[in-house]
Amino acid sequence: MTDKEIIEQLKKIVGEKNVQADKIGLTSYGYDATLLSGVGLAAVFPLSTEHVVKLVKLANEAGFSLIPRGAGTNLSGGTIPDERSVTVNFNRMKKILDIDTDNFVAVVEPGLVNFDLQAELEKEGFYYPPDPASYKATTLGGNLGECSGGPRCFKYGVTRDYILGLEVVLPNGKVIQTGGRNFNSEPEYDLTRIIVGSEGTLALITKIFLRILPLPAAKKTMLAIYNRVEDASQTVSDIVAAGIVPTTLEMMDNLLINTAEDATGAGLPRDAGALLIIEIDGHPEDMDEQVETIAGICKKARVREFKIARTAAEVDQLWLARRVVIGSVARRRPSYSLQDITVPRSMFPNMVSGILQIAKERNLEVGILAHAGDGNMHPLVLFDQRIEEEVERVHLAEKDICTLALELGGTMSGEHGIGLLKKKYITLEFSPVAMDCFAKIKNSFDPRHLLNPGKIMNLQS
Partner 1 sequence: MGVLNDVYEMLNTCNKCGFCLTACKTYKTDLREPMSPRGRIQLIKKLVDGVIEPDRDYEDAINSCLLCGECAVACPSGVKGNELVLAARRDLKLRHGIKPFAKSFALKTLASPSRLEHGFNFFKGVGKGILKKVDGLDYFRGVDIRNMPVAEKPFLEQVPEQITVSNPQKKVAFFVGCFLNHSLDGTAHSVVKVLTKNNCDVILPKDQVCCGLPQYAYGDFERAKANARKTIESFLDCKPDAVLTACASCGSMLRDEYLKLFADEPGYLPRVKEFCAKVFEFSEFVEDQIKLDESKLKAHTSVKVTYHDPCHMARHLKITSQPRKVLRSIPRLQFVEMNEANRCCGASGLVQAFYHELSTDITRQKTQNIVDSGAEVVATSCPACMLRIQGGLNFAGKKQTVVHVADLLAKAYED
User: Which residues have a Cβ under 8 Å from the Cβ of 277 and sit 6 or more positions away?
Assistant: 151, 221, 222, 223, 248, 249, 250, 252, 318, 319, 322
H-only helix segments in 371-457: 388-407, 426-429, 432-445
Q: How far is the CB of 259 from partner 1 (least distance, A)?
A: 8
Angle, in degrees to the nearest 10, between helices 229-241 and 284-300: 130
Q: Residue 23 or 310: which CB sits closer to partner 1? A: 23
Q: Using an 8 Å Cβ cutoff, are 44 and 111 in contact?
A: no
d(CA 223, CA 274): 11
Burial of 306 (0-12, 13-18, 19+ CB in 10 A): middle
Q: How far is the CB of 285 from partner 1 (least distance, A)?
A: 34
Q: Residue 156 or 336: which CB sits closer to partner 1? A: 336
Coil/strand/helix, residue 247: coil
User: Which residues have a Cβ under 8 Å from the Cβ of 120 and sit 6 or more positions away?
Assistant: 96, 99
Q: Residue 47 or 356: which CB sits closer to partner 1? A: 47
Q: How far is the CB of 328 from partner 1 (least distance, A)?
A: 4
Q: How far is the CB of 204 from partner 1 (least distance, A)?
A: 18
Q: Residue 47 or 175: which CB sits closer to partner 1? A: 47
d(CA 441, CA 157): 25
Q: Residue 112 or 298: which CB sits closer to partner 1? A: 112
* Span between the terminal Cα atoms of the chain, in Å: 21
Q: Residue 20 or 76: which CB sits closer to partner 1? A: 20
Q: Rg of the chain over CA atoms, in angstroms?
A: 22
Q: Residue 161 or 261: which CB sits closer to partner 1? A: 261
- Please report, as ranges, the residues that interact with partner 1 according to CB under 8 A: 20, 22-25, 27-29, 31-34, 43, 45, 71-73, 89, 91-92, 113, 115, 134, 136-138, 259-260, 262-263, 324-331, 334-336
Coil/strand/helix, residue 459: coil
Q: How far is the CB of 392 from partner 1 (least distance, A)?
A: 20
d(CA 29, CA 166): 26
Q: How far is the CB of 373 from partner 1 (least distance, A)?
A: 23
Helix, strand, coil content of the chain in percent (nearest 5): 40, 25, 35
d(CA 335, CA 394): 11
Q: How far is the CB of 37 from partner 1 (least distance, A)?
A: 9
Instruction: From residue 355, give the alpha-carbon distance in Å to each of 276, 315, 339, 401.
Output: 18, 30, 11, 7
Q: Residue 20 or 237: which CB sits closer to partner 1? A: 20
Q: How far is the CB of 307 from partner 1 (least distance, A)?
A: 23
Q: Residue 47 or 457: which CB sits closer to partner 1? A: 47
Q: Residue 338 or 352: which CB sits closer to partner 1? A: 338
Phi and psi torsions of 292, nearest 5°: -65, -45
Buried b or exposed e, range 310-326, using 16+ CB within 10 angstroms:
eeeebbebbbebbbbbb
Q: How far is the CB of 333 from partner 1 (least distance, A)?
A: 9
Q: What element of type H or E holds 169?
A: strand 163-169
Instruction: From residue 231, give the alpha-carbon distance in Å to each of 224, 260, 261.
Output: 11, 21, 21
Q: Residue 39 or 99: which CB sits closer to partner 1? A: 39
Q: How far is the CB of 134 from partner 1 (least distance, A)?
A: 6
Q: Using an 8 Å Cβ cutoff, are 137 and 420 in contact?
A: no
Return the closest-CA partner of residue 160 out of 177, 173, 179. 179
Q: How far is the CB of 326 from partner 1 (least distance, A)?
A: 6
